[in-house]
Chains A and B, each alone.
Chain A
Amino acid sequence: MPVDAPSHRDAAKGRLPTLKGTLTHTHLRDAFALDSRAASLYGYFARIAEIEGYPEVATTLRELAEQKAMFADGHLDFLKKAGDPLTGRSIGETTRNLSAAVLIEEQDAVDRLPGVARTAHAEGFPDIASWFESVALARHHHLARLQAAKEDAR
């Protein structure tokens, strides 16, 4: 089935097309990943530029990072109708958002990070393994905080 089929069908019935499963949905997810990554990366670059003595470069990078973070929010404005881009869970109101966040932390702290730490050890990166373990530890703590927040919001 061609990807644009739903839109045609919905348009024909005079309805707005649904986003979920469309190519545009994929593109929004990609854009969210890129812009939130760039926001973090440029913030990091800005701190180095500052230390190296390029204050104007640092300002440029920081301003771009700010804009990218706003772009990422804009992508989310559309994405939230189709679900959280990381877990696919439906998001929007705080109670749903917290459920998605709990799932993100669970997947990361419980499933993903211990495995990647083991791999890092096996590949001869004990410091990186220790870094992943430290992050996993904090993630467990975040999970507990989010679960408590979920109770509060209920």
Chain B
Amino acid sequence: MSTPNSAYSASAITVLTGLEAVRQRPAMYVGSTGPSGALHLIYEVVQNSVDEAMAGHCSRICVTLQANGSIQVADDGRGIPVDAHPTDGRPAIEVVLTTLHAGGKFGPQGGQAEAYGIAGGLHGVGISCVNALSDHFEVEVRRDGLTSHIAYMRGEEASPLTSVGPSESTGTTVTFRPDPTIFDGVVLDVRTLRRRLQEQAFLHPGLTVELTDARGRNRASEVFRYDTGIAGFVDHLVAERTPLHPQPIAISGEHDGHQVDLAVQWTTAYAEETLSYVNAIFTSQGGSHVEGLRAALTRVVNARARAEGLLHDDADEQIAGYDVREGMVAVLSVKMREPEYEGQTKSTLTSHSAIDAVEAVVEQALSDWMDAHASAATAIVGKALEASRARAAARRASERARYQSIDQVVSKEVYKQQFGIRSKNWHQSAAWITDDTILSTQADMWDGPDDAKVLDVCCGSGVVGNAFRGKVGHITGLDLTPEMIAMAETRLDIVKQGDVYEMPFDSDQFDLVCNREVLHLLPRPDIPVAQIFRVLKPGGTFIVSQLVPYGPEDAPWFFRIVKKKQPLFFNNLMAEDMVKLLEDAGFVDIEMKDIICWEDIDVWIDTWETPNLHRHEIRQLYYDAPAEVRRVHPFEIRPDGGILDQWRWVVLRGRKPSA
């Protein structure tokens, strides 16, 4: 994007404040003195080059991680001005490098001195912060036929601005090393850096971004350059998902001084992924531009559904926004003047004008697109309706199971429906399903003969029973639906169809019964435990694992999360409840082991059984978790809003007394 007032000379630099205190309180300026702070220094320098690219003056940015721990960022932009600053008298580059809030982006809007109409700028602190926090910092500027050089140590000038020779090109090369006395022992997160640089290449078609890692023995280099823009970005994000329509929908338009670019594609997946940017800065928590997008999507899809006669007019049926967005992958980029954010981290846009701009551009363009692509539009609307109905069905499922449980009979149909559909991608629906630690802990607790007869109850895919392979003789599976039986038959010796309330086996049959994560889904878990006790031979062993809360502090919070994920959740079993269940059934010599298991919750909630509204609510429960919960239940919220939870599992072993 080129700006009319692009006179980027010394007079375009405005001085606001001094550079004190950055070294005293680095975290205040760059977020932390850990890995994210170190990355932030790089972003801050790269962003200067990106702003040059946005102004139409830079086509290549090279980031090199050097062997000595320095980072070099080189661009072919106009070069930082080196002539004398009009109010300060010093060379403009000195002002930029040593003064907080100094730069071409802080000039008066629309004034003569404005070098950038639109600029990112990270925390508004500028490159001077990077200078202050580096033990070595040097800049080479190629501009007006000359190459100039200046160097600093911890913010103090080490070598004054000097002309070191002629130059045929233009650009700026910044080389700096994060001060090890501040960023002590920090290892650069190259994966995150790589993602951010690739993202910039997507956001600026034609811009080449190169990342070279020269730290190890093998110098590795990667070049990102895309002419496909954010549509290509969406294509890249959709990757292994199955799209509902062949190409991402690309929307571009201007409204009231806002340039709005959107690429969106719906997929058959459940989770929604929306990445949003303001002036090429990632807004991890969204904000007003994303609100405008949501409003437009909801309105267009509902209008389309109504026009196609898919909604019940008499019932005033509406597809909710979160159902419209199920399985949607979108990249939204807004360019605007003077964006306002909540807080210093720029994670949420608050500028009200962005709501109307995005809404207006997207609503018009998307409905035009749908008119021109009728069959794709029908697929998108159909998916939203299906999501809406699945949510209603999930609610009904739990209500039906609840109703049935009055006389202790649970409708098998309810479970069949819920798990039959899930069986399609059983191993994708949670990482712990194939978690080696849980499986091997269960297998290690078996201390019986290697010709033992085993029963895997509610075997699902059969991985639990299969984990005992080699330590036992014959493995039988039991589950509800033909789909699950077909799947378990690939792992187990024989699989019977039946349910846990009335197991289709004679008494005293098995040496070992194993089971995982089923009892909490049943209104009466004591019945299957009694059944298991019945089919075990005297002296036989029961091994069971169960996801449990850490303690009374997180029990109600954990209940809400699991209930929102799985409507058939009926019992918030604590570790103590598991022991009691086994004791009450008559088991003796009960032993219990604790296992922890980290999991990205997106894996866990991206399933058919979790409606989109619940997915959002679950995330919110993590974001707003009370202090009591946080103290006992470890989880991590990543800067991009993703959540890693540390589940607590217990594995119990009990023995049926010998006759």
Residues of chain A touching chain B, judged by Cβ–Cβ distance below 8 Å, are: 47-48, 51-53, 55, 123-127, 130-131, 133-135, 137-138, 140-141
Of chain A, the residue at the smallest CB distance from B553 is: A141
Identify the interface centre among A48, A124, A127, A140: most chain B CB within 10 Å of its CB.
A127
- Listed by A's residue number, 19 A-B pairs whose Cβ atoms lie within 8 Å are A51-B322, A52-B320, A53-B291, A126-B402, A126-B405, A126-B524, A126-B571, A127-B402, A127-B563, A127-B569, A127-B570, A127-B571, A130-B570, A134-B556, A134-B559, A137-B552, A137-B556, A138-B553, A141-B551
Question: With A130-B572, A138-B556 given, is the CB distance from A51 to B403 under 8 Å?
Answer: no
- The smallest beta-carbon distance between A65 and chain B, in angstroms, is 14
A125 contacts across to B, CB distance below 8 A: 402
- In the bound complex, residues from chain B placing their C-beta under 8 Å from that of A137 are 552, 555-556, 574
Q: Report the minimum CB–CB distance from B352 to chain A (whole Å).
A: 9
Contacts of B555 in A (CB 8 A): 134, 137-138
Q: Mark B554-594, 1 if CB is under 8 A from A, else 0.
A: 01101100010000011110100000000000000000000
- How close is B611's CB to chain A, nearest CB, in angstroms? 11
Given contact pairs A124-B402, A131-B572, A140-B552, a sample of 13 additional A-B residue pairs in the complex whose CB atoms are under 8 Å apart: A47-B620, A48-B613, A52-B322, A53-B294, A55-B291, A124-B403, A125-B402, A127-B523, A131-B556, A134-B559, A138-B555, A141-B551, A141-B628
Asked if B489 is at the interface of the complex by the 8 Å CB criterion, the answer is no
Q: Residues of A contacting B213 with CB < 8 Å? A: none
Q: Number of contacting residues on B, CB 8 A?
A: 35
Contacts of A131 in B (CB 8 A): 556, 559, 563, 572
Residues of A within 8 A of B523 (CB): 126-127
CB distance from A143 to the nearest CB of B (A): 10
B49 sits at the interface (CB 8 A): no
CA distance A140 to B555 in the complex (A): 12
- Chain B, residues 113-149, CB within 8 Å of chain A (1/0): the string is 0000000000000000000000000000000000000
- CB < 8 Å neighbour of B617 from A47, A53, A55, A141: A47
Given contacts A124-B406, A134-B572, whether A141 and B291 have CB atoms under 8 Å apart is no
**Chain B contacts of A48 at CB under 8 A?**
613
Q: CA separation between A80 and B628, bound complex, in Å? A: 28
List of B residues within 8 angstroms of A123 by Cβ: 406
Give the shortest distance, in Å, between A148 (CB) and chain B (any CB): 14
Cα-based distance from A137 to B573 in the complex (angstroms): 12
- Residues in A with CB closer than 8 Å to B355 are 55
Contacts of A135 in B (CB 8 A): 556
The contact string, 1 if C-beta is below 8 Å from chain A, for chain B 48-62, is 000000000000000
State the Cβ distance, A131 to closest chain B Cβ, in Å. 6
* A133 pairs with B572, CB closer than 8 A: yes
Known: A53-B294, A126-B524. A141 touches B552 (CB 8 A): yes
CB distance from A120 to the nearest CB of B (A): 10
Chain A residues closer than 8 Å to B396, beta-carbon distance:
none
B302 CB to nearest chain A CB (Å): 12
| B360 lies within 8 A of chain A by Cβ | no
For chain B residues 598-639, which have a beta carbon within 8 Å of chain A? 613, 616-617, 620, 628
9 shortest interchain CB distances as A-B pairs: A53-B294, A124-B406, A53-B321, A126-B523, A141-B552, A137-B552, A134-B555, A51-B616, A55-B291
